Amino acid sequence: MRIIDNELLDKLSEQAKSNERLRKNYNLHRSLNDNVQRLLNALEPRTELPIHRHLHTDETYMLFRGSLNVLLYNDKKVLIQKTLLDPKIGKHGMSIPAGQWHTVEVLESGTVIFEIKQGPYAPLEAKDIMHIEKEKLK
């Protein structure tokens, strides 16, 4: 059993700040083979999460604190939706359907999300990562 409290969120945020990737995962599932992957993800501004998709599972984000934009793209590499998640304005999470291209833009230091998706864990394959020139991202 693990309590998700400010102490844990603070610790993860500090680890994210000192991590080269500017993020830190904390798995709540027991194994990468579990049927459900549940994790906290502490994210800092300037972290680079590639535009990607999960072909066989929805992915849900619930925001514990901080703020971020969730960016959705179509198959033609066109931004089709930008959604601000911020508990201060009453937007706490988002469910992203299987196959939807997406990424996040972290707006605030100390941002922590809870992610859930179907397992087992499967690393992203090259076909599930979209490459777009930086100036076309937003």
Identify which has the larger pLDDT, 124 or 134: 124
Residue 1 belongs to some domain of the structure: no
pLDDT in tens, 24-41: 999 999 998 899 999 999
Number of domains in the chain: 1
Q: Over range 70-90, report the average pLDDT.
A: 97
In a domain, 66, yes or no: yes
- Residue 116 pLDDT > 80: yes
Q: Is residue 116 part of a domain?
A: yes
pLDDT in the model for residue 135 = 52
Give the chain's largest Cα–Cα span: 44
| pTM tops 0.75 | yes
pLDDT of residue 43: 98
Q: Read off the pLDDT band of 113 (50, 70, 90).
A: very high
- CATH classification at residue 44: 2.60.120.10
Domain, as residue range, for 118: 6-136
Domain contains 105: yes
- Sign of the torsion angle spanned by Cα atoms 12, 14, 18, 22: positive
Residue 122 pLDDT: 86
